[in-house]
Chain A
Amino acid sequence: MIHIGQYITGNSFTHRLDPRVKTVSTIILSIMIFRATWFDVYFISLFFLMVLGLSRLKAAPILDAIKPLIFFAGLLFLLHLFFTDGTALLELPWLHLKITHEGLLKGAFVTWQFVALVLSGAILTMTTPPSEMISGLEKLLRPFKYIGIPTQDIAVMVSMALRFVPTLLEEFDRIRLAQTARGADVKTGTPAQRVKAAASMTLPLMMSAMRRADELADAMEARGYHSGPRTTLRVLRVSGLDYAALSGLALFIALLAIAGVYVG
């Protein structure tokens, strides 16, 4: 099963960057996308193509990441296309709708923003293993520890939740088969019957998840998990590569700003 934005093993420039650098860059890029003007669109798009090239990701997984969003992107485009006031390009009087010049531009722009945002997130998750991502986030959120937020525990919790997703999916499959074999049927019947049948599958899953959690807590305690300080196997180290990437991003922002001033 391929999840959207699932990590794809690789050893590209982007793969080797520190997760913190990647996360911060993605956030900066997202802000730029939000605040972009038409002038920026071309440059940011070019920058994106460059990052994509550096990630050495194949087209197929990237398209897979966008595919489920085509519907929303299309809807977004159409809404802006029809409901923006301005100079009419085409009137559809029998629908009481008109396509305006401004609507066309706005629609294209918003759709671009949407796709660009999703892509920047997808590039981050596709080039960063989840465990690295979590240790990166934990380090980034470390300052919050001083106001009493247990960032380390949260990091352990998140990674464990991710660890158990496939296990619980497997379990759900097993329960579904067992209940189907005993006559539960979620596909036919009145809505009330179907809800009841669905409950016969989700309740056992929840029960078993509770039992798991109980045993897991014991196992963690037995292996010395406690509220005190802990270290991690993975040590994040910012390397020359990371400085290069950050300088690249800074340079890009500066150029964009200067160009904006000259043109605007």
Chain B
Amino acid sequence: MITIKDLLYSYNGQGEPVLKNLHLEIREGEHVALIGPNGCGKTTLLRHLNALFTPDEGSVVVDGMDTSSQENLKEIRSRVGVVFQNPDNQIVGMTVEEDVAFGPENLALPPPDIRRRVDEALVAVGMETFAQRAPHTLSGGEKRLVSIAGVLAMNPRYIAFDEPTAYLDPVGRKRVLEMIQNLHHRGIAIIHITHDMNDLLDADRLLVMDRGVIAIDGTPRDVFSRLEAMRSLGLQLPQVTLLLHRLQESGCALNTNILTIEDACTELLSRMNSLKGEPDVS
């Protein structure tokens, strides 16, 4: 479990704090999506999870280890992996395989163990045939998968993703989202920062951040039912949810607590069927 208590943080320890007395618990195996307007502190929060930043006040504790303590650093970094926004700036190896090996090498594992972890991680993301390729010859989606493999090779309990689908084409986006879901099924807790509301439909829990605090915390359905709160934060609902809300506003009795296109179809069809036979259907 990652426990964040009273987290206060400002850049260089001065000026307006970016995170203000933030409280949060992330449990093992959870899939948490994190949304919020630009500059609300999402990325800063993410950097606290594996001790890249440490709190000015308050504490971040990963599985009982305080991130402020130097001797926990190695263990925390292998438990909490971070996949950053731009894969180009986190791939350090000259080949895919060497890059994936970077983390285990830093853990000073024996070479045969490194080999095993690299192979497993590459198979897990489906990039095993790319092992010898140079990173610049890969597509955006492939690079992202390599950066995920690099984190996976550390055997993390938690992986934090910072906008993993940014700049990807639909195919790459789908592969990455499936991969995240896949990792979740393996029991790894996922913390997923996103701007795209359609990316977070798989999440168990949705956090909405606003100006340095967690403003809303609930299941995606819960959160999206608070239309006014979301609007006041300048956040969009998924398109289907928005459509159902509009239909309801214009007088259709509908269940608006729906996030996926499939569910929306079912709801609309059942509504239409129940109207059948009534003479005044307009």
- Which residues of A come within 8 Å of B, CB atoms? 130-131, 156, 159-160, 162-163, 166-167, 170, 212, 215-216, 218-226, 228-235
B265 interface residue, CB < 8 Å from A?
no
A131-B98, A166-B136, A170-B136 are known contacts. Are A224 and B107 too (CB-CB below 8 A)?
A: yes
B102 interface residue, CB < 8 Å from A?
yes
Chain B residues with CB under 8 A of A230? 105-108
Partner of A221, one of B52, B91, B93, B109: B52
Partner of B95, one of A131, A167, A218, A232: A131
Chain B residues with CB under 8 A of A170? 136
Q: B153: nearest residue on chain A (CB-CB)?
A: A223
Chain B residues with CB under 8 A of A162? 94
Q: Is the CB of B86 within 8 A of A215?
A: yes
Chain A residues with CB under 8 A of B118? 233
Max chain B C-beta neighbours (<10 A), residue from A220, A222, A232, A235 = A222
B177 interface residue, CB < 8 Å from A?
no
| Contact sample, A vs B, 9 pairs, CB 8 Å cutoff | A216-B89, A219-B89, A219-B92, A220-B102, A223-B90, A224-B78, A224-B103, A233-B105, A234-B111
Interface size class of B (residues with CB under 8 A): 35 or more
Partner of B90, one of A219, A226, A232, A234: A219
A215 CA to B47 CA, complexed, in Å: 12
Q: B89: nearest residue on chain A (CB-CB)?
A: A215
| Apart from the given pairs A221-B77, A222-B82, A225-B106, 5 other A-B contacts in the complex at a CB distance below 8 Å | A222-B77, A226-B74, A230-B105, A233-B104, A233-B118
Q: A233: nearest residue on chain B (CB-CB)?
A: B101
Chain B residues with CB under 8 A of A163? 91-94, 135
Chain B residues with CB under 8 A of A224? 74, 77-78, 103, 106-107, 154
B110 interface residue, CB < 8 Å from A?
yes
A233 CA to B107 CA, complexed, in Å: 12
Partner of A231, one of B92, B114, B151: B114
Contact with A along B71-102 (1 / 0, CB 8 A): 00110011001101010111111110110011
B211 interface residue, CB < 8 Å from A?
no
Minimal beta-carbon separation of B240 from chain A (angstroms): 35
Chain B residues with CB under 8 A of A221? 52, 77
Q: B93: nearest residue on chain A (CB-CB)?
A: A163
B115 interface residue, CB < 8 Å from A?
yes
A163 CA to B81 CA, complexed, in Å: 22
Contact with A along B139-159 (1 / 0, CB 8 A): 000000000001100100000
Q: Is the CB of A231 within 8 A of B95?
A: no
A231-B108, A233-B105 are known contacts. Are A167 and B77 too (CB-CB below 8 A)?
A: no
Q: Is the CB of A218 within 8 A of B52?
A: yes
Minimal beta-carbon separation of B127 from chain A (angstroms): 16
A230-B106, A233-B115 are known contacts. Are A222 and B50 too (CB-CB below 8 A)?
A: yes
A215 CA to B85 CA, complexed, in Å: 10
- The 7 A-B pairs at the shortest CB distance, nearest first, are namely A219-B90, A233-B101, A224-B106, A215-B89, A166-B136, A223-B103, A224-B77
A166 CA to B88 CA, complexed, in Å: 11
A228 CA to B86 CA, complexed, in Å: 27
Minimal beta-carbon separation of B134 from chain A (angstroms): 7
Chain B residues with CB under 8 A of A235? 111
Q: Is the CB of A215 within 8 A of B90?
A: yes
Q: Is the CB of A228 within 8 A of B154?
A: no
Q: Is the CB of A159 within 8 A of B136?
A: no
Q: Is the CB of B97 within 8 A of A233?
A: yes
Max chain A C-beta neighbours (<10 A), residue from B89, B90, B104, B111 = B89
Partner of B92, one of A130, A160, A166, A232: A160
Q: Is the CB of A233 within 8 A of B111?
A: yes
A232 CA to B104 CA, complexed, in Å: 8
Q: Is the CB of B73 within 8 A of A226?
A: yes
Q: Is the CB of B92 within 8 A of A216?
A: yes
Q: Is the CB of A167 within 8 A of B136?
A: yes
Partner of B109, one of A131, A156, A166, A231: A231
